Amino acid sequence: MVKLILFIAFLFSIMANAQTRSNMLIRISEIEVYPEYLEEYLQFAKNVGATSVKEEEGVVCIYPMVQQRDSCQIRILEIYRDMDAYKSHIQTPHFQTYKQGTLHMVKKLDLVDMYPLNPYRMNEIFLKLKNE
Amino acid sequence: MVKLILFIAFLFSIMANAQTRSNMLIRISEIEVYPEYLEEYLQFAKNVGATSVKEEEGVVCIYPMVQQRDSCQIRILEIYRDMDAYKSHIQTPHFQTYKQGTLHMVKKLDLVDMYPLNPYRMNEIFLKLKNE
pLDDT at site A73: 98
pLDDT surpassing 90 at residue B8: no
Pairing relationship of beta strands A25-33 and B106-116 according to DSSP bridges: unpaired
State how far the Cα of A56 lies from the Cα of A86, in Å rounded to an integer: 10
Please determine, for residue A19, whether its predicted confidence score (pLDDT) is greater than 70: no
Task: Give the count of beta carbons closer than 10 Å to the beta carbon of residue A85.
Answer: 18
**CB-CB neighbors (< 8 A) of B49 in chain A:** 117-118, 121, 125
* Averaged pLDDT of chain A: 84
Report the alpha-carbon distance of residue A64 to residue A75 in Å, rounded.
6
- Is the pLDDT at A44 greater than 80? The verdict is yes
Collapsed DSSP state (helix, strand, coil) of residue A27: strand
* Cα B34 versus chain centre, distance: 21
Q: pLDDT tens for residues A59-118?
A: 988 999 999 999 999 999 999 999 999 999 999 999 999 999 999 999 999 999 999 987
The answer to whether the CB atoms of B63 and A113 lie below 8 A apart is: no
Residue of B nearest to A9 (CA): B39
Q: Region B32-44: what's the mean pLDDT?
A: 97
Tell me the average pLDDT across B111-120: 86
| Helix locations, chain B, DSSP H | 2-21, 38-55, 83-89, 93-102, 122-127
Q: Which residues of A24-57 are buried (b: 16+ CB within 10 A; e: fewer)?
A: bbbbbbebebeeebbbebbebbbebbbbbbeebe
ipTM (interface predicted TM):
0.78
From the list A45, A49, A127, the residue facing B130 with the nearest CB is A127
Q: Which of B38, B68, B77 sits opposite A77 (nearest CB)?
A: B77
Indicate yes or no: CB of A75 within 8 angstroms of CB of B28: yes
- For residue B62, the chain A residues in CB contact (below 8 A) are 125
Asked whether A58 and A85 are in contact (CB, 8 A), the reply is: yes
Q: Do B130 and A128 touch (CB under 8 A)?
A: no
Residue B112 to residue A69, Cβ atoms within 8 A: yes
Cα(B63)–Cα(A122) distance, integer angstroms: 8
Calpha distance A124→A127 (Å, rounded): 5
Q: How far is CA B97 from CA A70, B12, B74, in A?
A: 32, 38, 19
Q: What is the pLDDT of residues B51-108, one digit of tens each?
A: 999 999 999 889 999 999 999 999 999 999 999 999 999 999 999 999 999 999 999 9
Q: Give the mean pLDDT of chain B.
A: 84
Q: Nearest Cα to B61, choosing from B36, B13, B94, B29?
A: B29
Rounded to a whole number, what is the distance in Å from the CA of B59 to chain A's nearest CA?
9
Radius of gyration of chain B (CA): 17
Give the residue, B14 or A40, on which the prediction is more confident: A40
Residues of chain B numbered 66-85 and touching chain A (CB < 8 Å):
66-69, 71, 75, 77, 79, 81
Nearest to A129 among B10, B75, B123 (CB): B123
